[in-house]
Structure formats: C-alpha cells, structure tokens
C-alpha cells in the first residue's frame, strides 16, 4: 500500500513556529516518525510539504491511480481552500485530515474545515501521533476492502 502525506503552509517551520501550540519538535523529526511508522506498517510513503495551494492540488491530482490513501494536514488552507476539497473529491482516494493542535479549542476561524467534507476521519490535538493514527486507519481500511 502506498500513502501520501501532505502538509500545508508553515509546517516546515515546526520547532520554530509557536512551540507553545505545536511543540518543539521539528518538521524533519515529524518526517522521521512518519517514515519509521510506514516501515513498521509495510507501507510505501511519500511525504510532501508546500506553502503553495496549487502545489498541493497538483500533488493530490498526481496521486490519482498511484496512491491508496492520503494523510493531509492542510494547515491554514484547511479554513480557506475549496480547491483542496475539490482535488480530493476528484481523485476519490481515501483521506484522513490531521491537525497537530486541537483546532476545536482555538480561534473561531479555525472551526471551519473545507477538506473535512471529504475526509473519512479527522484527527486533532494528538501532536505528531495523529499522523501515525491516520496511517493506521488508512492501512486498516484498505485491508478490510
């Protein structure tokens, strides 16, 4: 099984950006944890981060026919991007939305998620472990089908 892990804007700044919200671990450490967990699961993994909405849309479209599941943390695009929602709907690949922080306890504008309308699950506030939970879910769902 092949999984695509997509990360939106500013996640490359983990460890620097608001450590009281996101913790002090870096983006490189997140990627290491994801790769290690993929090895345990026996999954192929591709990790991609971009600060540009169109790049993320392109990556979702390129996944069509070659990826079995998508873990997506759209970051700030969660609250603004119908384009990401439409891309996910277009490719029809099972997806799980992940947020490191608990967005339900943050600013009002963070309560809106366009991609959630498509995603099978949303995992919030579990830190980096949320990505691993999303991978577990997608692997389990794939094995059941």
- Catalytic site residues? 22, 99
The position carrying tokens 């892990």 is 5
**In the beta sheet, which residues pair with residue 123?**
98
The CA-atom distances, in angstroms, between 111 and each of 107, 114, 117 are 7, 10, 13
Spatial separation of the C-alpha atoms in residues 80 and 114, rounded to whole Å: 7
């Amino acid at each position: 099984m092949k999984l695509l892990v997509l990360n939106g804007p500013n996640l490359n700044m983990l460890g620097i950006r608001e450590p009281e919200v996101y913790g002090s671990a870096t983006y490189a450490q997140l990627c290491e944890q994801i790769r290690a967990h993929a090895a345990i699961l026996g999954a192929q993994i591709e990790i991609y981060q971009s600060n540009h909405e169109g790049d993320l849309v392109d990556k979702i479209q390129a996944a069509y026919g070659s990826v079995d599941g998508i873990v997506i943390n759209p970051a700030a695009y969660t609250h603004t991007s119908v384009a990401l929602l439409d891309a996910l709907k277009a490719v029809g690949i099972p997806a799980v939305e992940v947020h490191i922080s608990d967005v339900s306890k943050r600013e009002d504008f963070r309560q809106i998620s366009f991609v959630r309308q498509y995603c099978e699950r949303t995992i919030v506030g579990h830190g980096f472990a949320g990505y691993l939970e999303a991978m577990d879910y997608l692997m389990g769902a794939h094995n059941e089908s």
